[in-house]
Structure 1
Amino acid sequence: MSDQKVYSAGAFTLQSGLTLPDARVAYVTHGTLNPAKDNVILYPTRYAGTHDDQPPLIGPGKALDPEKYFIVIPNTLGNGLSSSPSNTPAPLGGPDFPRVTHYDNVLLQEQMLRTLWGIEELRLVCGWSMGGQQSFHWAAIFPGRVRAMSCFCGQAITAPHTHVFLEGMKYALKTDAAFMGGYYREQPWRGFTAQGRAWAGWALSQEWYRQERWRDLGFTSLEDYLKRAWDGAYFKRDANDMLSLIATWQACDISDNPLYNGDRAAALGAITARSIIMPGRTDFYFPPEDNAAEVAQMPNAELRVIESIWGHYAGGGKLQADTDFVDAALKELLA
């Protein structure tokens, strides 16, 4: 990966009305910006992820080829590298960090691209999960400046069922006695363990567990998999950061902004970019039916279902066949 850099935007007023006095976006780049500045791919990060999680789709011969394209990976606000509860001083740090929306993320990313490199057009914006949510927002907020868009295992509008699931993830952290309303002296590791165990049942499908696919990953039993893969999965994270990202996820709605004022049909209909939306067949967070309803309202979009038992991870680079499926669709968009 390229060395991480930070774009400092100065004072940035969020959609909530609160201002971050020193808004920062951590980012990395791959490849070289061409003189015409028309070879730019934006690849935002997922929930609980950073730029270090993006490599499976990046490399020579892949769709996201740094020998052809200038690939920018901005870290989502709240992820611990960009402005987040854990790195923002009082009175806006910790549990007092303002609510962030994807509208905020996209406006700040657009400012960064324009200020640092003079970039006005994206050849492609794509992403997995929350990165895909940002891709939807980019295509709706700047429809004339995005040529192609892809979301894999994500949505333009967080569905009610997903909202409820995320409530459970929030309260797994909040009900740990060590959480102390967010003013904790140590991370609520018991809450993280509870969150990991709960997430394990949502991230992968029934069939994945039925086939005991955890054996393919080197685990000797189901309990061995839960203990070693999930119990400590979030121990290196900050609880307030995770809650900030959950709040952003729950608030995801491409029409909830001054451009569309809640008109979801108008926001989806404004996406003129050639788009391929790729839900996972067994994804509990973002089922294909929700994406099908969104694609039906988009004038230049196609739904391609990833036929995988890997649940939400079908878009996350865990299985090579699934990654190849996503890569092939991105190559079409870039052709």
Structure 2
Amino acid sequence: MLFPMLETRSILARAALCATLAAFASFAFPAKAAPADGRQQFAALGECKLDSGQQIKDCRLGYRTWGHLNAGSSNAVLFPTWFTGTSGQIAGNIGAGKLVDPARYFVIAVDALGDGVSSSPSNSKSQPRMQFPAFTTRDMVRAEYRLATETLHLKHLHAVMGISMGGMQTFEWMVDYPDFMDLAIPIVGSTRLTSYDLLLWHSEEDAVRADPGWHAGNYEKSPAMPQVAILHEMNVSTPSYYAREVSRAAFAERYKSYGASGASEFDANDRIYQLEAMIRHDIARGGSMEEVARRVHAKVLVVPSQQDHMVNPGPALEFAKLLGAKVFLLTSDCGHQAPGCEADKLNPAVGAFLDGK
């Protein structure tokens, strides 16, 4: 969920402290990126109706694009953000040899609701802070579908892919809009959270609410929330990875850093809302996964991490079995950060799948 995990290990470490974790057929377009590639843009969607029956007023969705749409409009790849991530951070995964090559694909990175760029508790003028209506991962996807169809005027996507909470949204996409994409690639995502996942996300939310600087959401500056950062760091990798990367001699300084910066780079209220969206995430809405699987028409590549302590791989693997989907299992002790640690293997595998190979 949770961070720009495919850039470098140092970036991964910073992302874990502050917020979370993170290739196709040739087209007749120049490899050189257009000057506007990666520019922050916004789609004005008016009112976004939510599963709760409420609505987000003056709903805006942030997004960035790279590459060019081909003549047949058949090369678009939509890439929603992870937990606490932004479309700007997805930029590290776009390029030759990375997850998606914009010389071959039209890539759309979308800021999920509540990330502080798209409509969020932290930036809403009419529904500020804890007055913001609760939303779900399904609501995120519904807004993203409107961006694709109403703003970008797309009738079809080549693929939807996402990391962590972006992987959760990818699972939602393949169920709610089964004929809108050819391929779906959920990376370290889940169809619904296990009890162990819920233990982590509930504890993070409780830690935010218990922080003395939170003030029931009424603060001038988002509190540091060091306990949130510690909980996150403990689960974003594995014990063996942490012990190897942070020596005993370096531990005191690392621990001190949690108190200094904590998880404050991402707004506390936004964090609560995205946490609750993940907690409620369930593509079967409490029903049968077997029934839901029959609704999926896209070809699917499921990418779980065997040692993931943040998003348990079990539900994704079980759904892959129901679909008869391809699985690319990450096995390193990097845990939820495995897509970054194993990028040299993952990126070519994703590229080949996008290429139809």
Q: TM-score by structure 2 length?
A: 0.84
Q: Secondary structure of the equivalent of 1:271?
A: coil
Give the whole-Å Cα distance in 1 for the aligned partners of 2:70 and 2:259: 42
Q: Which amino acid aligns with 2:328?
A: R
Ranked by relative contact order (alpha carbons within 8 Å, sequence separation 6 or more), the top structure is 2
Give the whole-Å Cα distance in 1 for the aligned partners of 2:138 and 2:129: 22
Question: Within the alignment, does 1:49 sit opposite 2:90 as a pair?
Answer: no
Question: Within the alignment, does 1:199 sit opposite 2:235 as a pair?
Answer: no
- Structure 2 residue runs without a partner (length 5+): 1-36
Partner of 1:214: 246
| Cα deviation, residue 266, structure 1 | 1.7
Alignment of 1:158-197 (within 5 A): 158-189=193-224, 192-197=225-230
CA distances 1:29-60 after superposition (whole Å, capped 9, x unpaired): 00011121110001110011111221343102
Partner of 2:275: 246
CA distances 1:263-311 after superposition (whole Å, capped 9, x unpaired): 3322223222111111112111223333221212214x12221011111
Q: Which amino acid aligns with 1:206?
A: P
Pairwise CA RMSD:
1.9
Question: Within the alignment, does 1:330 sit opposite 2:350 as a pair?
Answer: yes
Pick from 310, 318, 339 the counterpart of residue 285 of structure 1.
310
Decide whether aligned partners of structure 1 residues 272 and 231 sit closer, same or farther in structure 2, where only a CA change above 3 A counts: farther
| Cα deviation, residue 137, structure 1 | 0.8
Pick from 320, 323, 329 the counterpart of residue 305 of structure 1.
329
Q: Secondary structure of the equivalent of 2:329?
A: coil
Pick from 281, 285, 288 the counterpart of residue 263 of structure 1.
288
Q: Secondary structure of the equivalent of 1:177?
A: coil
Q: Which amino acid aligns with 1:154?
A: G
The 8 Å contact of residues 144 and 272 in structure 1, kept in 2 or not, is answered as yes
What is the percent sequence identity of the aligned residues? Answer: 25
The 8 Å contact of residues 276 and 329 in structure 1, kept in 2 or not, is answered as no
| Cα deviation, residue 229, structure 1 | 6.8
Question: Within the alignment, does 1:71 sit opposite 2:100 as a pair?
Answer: no
For these two proteins, the number of residue pairs brought into alignment is: 319
Alignment of 1:77-156 (within 5 A): 77-90=113-126, 92-156=127-191
The 8 Å contact of residues 27 and 74 in structure 1, kept in 2 or not, is answered as yes
Decide whether aligned partners of structure 1 residues 61 and 155 sit closer, same or farther in structure 2, where only a CA change above 3 A counts: same
| Cα deviation, residue 125, structure 1 | 0.8
Pick from 6, 12, 19 the counterpart of residue 55 of structure 2.
19
Q: Which amino acid aligns with 2:149?
A: R
Q: Secondary structure of the equivalent of 1:27?
A: strand
Which segment is superposed worse, 145-154 or 228-237?
228-237
The 8 Å contact of residues 63 and 334 in structure 1, kept in 2 or not, is answered as no
The 8 Å contact of residues 196 and 231 in structure 1, kept in 2 or not, is answered as no
Give the whole-Å Cα distance in 1 for the aligned partners of 2:94 and 2:170: 17
CA distances 1:220-240 after superposition (whole Å, capped 9, x unpaired): 612323334785252222110
Partner of 1:59: 95
Give the whole-Å Cα distance in 2 for the aligned partners of 1:291 and 1:227: 36
| Cα deviation, residue 158, structure 1 | 1.7
Give the whole-Å Cα distance in 2 for the aligned partners of 1:288 and 1:176: 30
Give the whole-Å Cα distance in 2 for the aligned partners of 1:198 and 1:72: 32
CA distances 1:109-135 after superposition (whole Å, capped 9, x unpaired): 111111222212111111110011111
Q: Secondary structure of the equivalent of 2:148?
A: helix
Give the whole-Å Cα distance in 2 for the aligned partners of 1:121 and 1:186: 41
The 8 Å contact of residues 193 and 315 in structure 2, kept in 1 or not, is answered as no
Q: Which amino acid aligns with 1:98?
A: P
Partner of 1:227: 256
The 8 Å contact of residues 289 and 319 in structure 2, kept in 1 or not, is answered as no
Pick from 262, 265, 281 the counterpart of residue 236 of structure 1.
265
Q: Secondary structure of the equivalent of 1:333?
A: helix
